[in-house]
Copies of this chain bind each other. A is one copy, B any other.
Amino acid sequence: MSFIVYLSGEIHTEWRAEVQRGAEAAGLDVTFTAPVTDHPASDAAGDHLVKTESQFWRDHQSAKVNAIRTRTLIEKSDLVVVRFGDKYKQWNAAFDAGYCAALGKPYVTLHDTDIVHPLKEVDAAAQAWCTTTDQVVETLKYVLKA
């Protein structure tokens, strides 16, 4: 049994690598996908297109280019993991969760206990809440059990 798992959210820690190493160590047949996680590259994703002075339109243009990748990968995945770290607003992660919810695409969240309350709507529509990458791997192990 194989799965495609999209890893959404935080891009400034090693959580993706941890999940992937854990899955590999467990011999799971999982293909992991992700947004472009190079922050400056992501912010500049549309800079080769219309030149613009405005911060709003620069962001707009880059975000729309990023969405070509992220929407497609989310729609092709079997499961999405949405990670909320301890920095930044991370509204894009919550946006991805809402997107999954409307599609009926299962997702699990990965975040610390101290943000349980503000994430209650996001967690309520999730299939599981994990606090560690080990729990994510454990969940995958169970789901993909022979």
- List the interface of chain A (C-beta within 8 A of B): 1, 3, 33, 36, 38, 41, 45-46, 48-50, 52-57, 59-69, 71-72, 78-79, 84, 88-104, 106, 108, 113, 115-125, 127-130, 135, 138-139, 142-145
* Complex alpha-carbon distance, A102 and B123, angstroms: 18
**Are B55 and A116 within 8 A (Cβ)?**
yes
A-B contact pairs, 17 of them (CB 8 A): A49-B135, A54-B54, A59-B120, A59-B123, A64-B124, A64-B128, A66-B121, A67-B125, A68-B79, A68-B127, A71-B106, A72-B79, A91-B91, A95-B101, A95-B125, A98-B98, A101-B102
**Are B97 and A63 within 8 A (Cβ)?**
no
| This protein's copies in its complex | 8
**Are B104 and A104 within 8 A (Cβ)?**
yes
* Complex alpha-carbon distance, A38 and B142, angstroms: 11
**Are B102 and A138 within 8 A (Cβ)?**
no
Task: Write the chain B residue with the least CB distance to A72.
Answer: B78
6 further interface pairs, Cβ-Cβ under 8 Å (given A67-B127, A90-B91, A98-B98): A50-B56, A60-B124, A68-B143, A69-B142, A91-B118, A100-B102
